Amino acid sequence: MSSAAIVRLHDLTKRIGGKTIIDRISLDVNPGEVFGFLGPNGSGKTTTIRMIVGLMSLSGGDIHIGGNSVRTSFSKAVSQVGAIVENPEMYKFLTGYQNLVHFARMSGVSRERIDEVVELVGLTERIHDKVRSYSLGMRQRLGVAQAVMHRPRLLVLDEPTNGLDPAGIRELRDYLRKLAREEGTSVFVSSHLLSEMELMCDRVAILQKGKIIDIRSLRQENGEGSDVRVAGEVLFEVDRPDAALAALEGLGAGRAFEGGVTVSADRETTAAVNRKLVKAGIEVYGIRMKTKSLEDQFLEVTGSDGHA
């Protein structure tokens, strides 16, 4: 799997003025994968992304994109990348279309493809207006258009949802997942918005103070098993928690609290617990898994510095 990785970071290091900003990061992103890069502000997300797209030099280690090192064959490596680094800043005095023509000339993209991409991001109506008059959402869509028009194998997005309204965020998320699914484009996206990442990504790496402290899978479909939604704690809402606890003697019952009990249980045990409670004449109002959100886990691993 790793030999086919579209991006490979190997011992990537960045030092600025004697300070190590990025400390020997290694990770692989696979084709068609939406990979999240998560970390509090100042953890080095943007620096890493700037190194991937060639805006910053590497102090150590290497980055391979589609097998090409950004150190030795930059043009080849970066020609497979489309990116939005922070806000998509465009030439405001040009029209949206002229902006796209500008970047198309640099990547050898045909006029037909520009029209196609404009259609795709839904800017057909306004594409010949000056970018100055665009809303943030429209600029973001124009940013996506310039990033995908040369059909890159890798899309790199830095904080793409910054400043977008919920509809815009959702639109972007759906579009990215569609790209990954239908065109096999890999997406490398950074954010500090955990709930967003949870909805968008297949895998996330958690970065803190320039080091990767965890890489984990978020999708069960991948067959790797999700370790984010830790199944274990099951919460039963009941009318008499103390009686319920007594009834569950021997089933490894956990704690009672106001309005319910929690039991450490898998699928089968959950059914057994429920049966027992009903038999004991206790009213069960609800059963749900106590899942840990990515946010809980994030704060857990990043500790008190984890204010995102």
Partner 1 sequence: MRNFWNLVQNENMKIYRRLATWIMLGIVVIIPLGISLLLYAVSGSAADSNWAIMMISSQFLYFLITIFTVVKASEAVAGEFTWGTIKLLLIRPWRRSTILLSKYVSMILFALFFLAVGFAASFLMSVVFFGYTSSAAGLSQTASSPWAYMLALYGLQFVSLIAVATFGFMMSSAFRSSGLAIGLSIFLLLSGQLLAGLFALADKAWVKYVVFLHLDLTPYLNGGSPVPNQETTLGFSIAILAAYVIVFNAVSWTVFCKRDVAA
Instruction: Compute the distance between CA of residue 121 and CA of residue 273 in angstroms, rounded to an integer.
Output: 51
Question: In terms of CB distance, is 147 or 244 closer to partner 1?
Answer: 147
Stretch that binds partner 1, among 82-90, 180-188, 204-212, 281-289 (CB under 8 A): 82-90
Q: Is 79 in the site for partner 1 (CB under 8 A)?
A: yes
Question: In terms of CB distance, is 102 or 275 closer to partner 1?
Answer: 102
Q: Is 285 in the site for partner 1 (CB under 8 A)?
A: no
Report the site for partner 1 in 84-103 (rule: CB under 8 A): 85-94, 98, 101-103
Question: Which position among 106, 225, 249, 304 is part of the footprint of partner 1 (CB under 8 A)?
Answer: 106
Q: Is 136 in the site for partner 1 (CB under 8 A)?
A: no
Report the site for partner 1 in 243-262 (rule: CB under 8 A): none
Question: In terms of CB distance, is 105 or 307 closer to partner 1?
Answer: 105
Question: Which position among 57, 133, 135, 220 is part of the footprint of partner 1 (CB under 8 A)?
Answer: 57
Report the site for partner 1 in 145-164 (rule: CB under 8 A): 146
Q: Provide the binding-site residues for partner 1, judged by CB under 8 A.
A: 16, 50, 53-57, 74-76, 78-79, 81, 83, 85-94, 98, 101-103, 105-108, 146
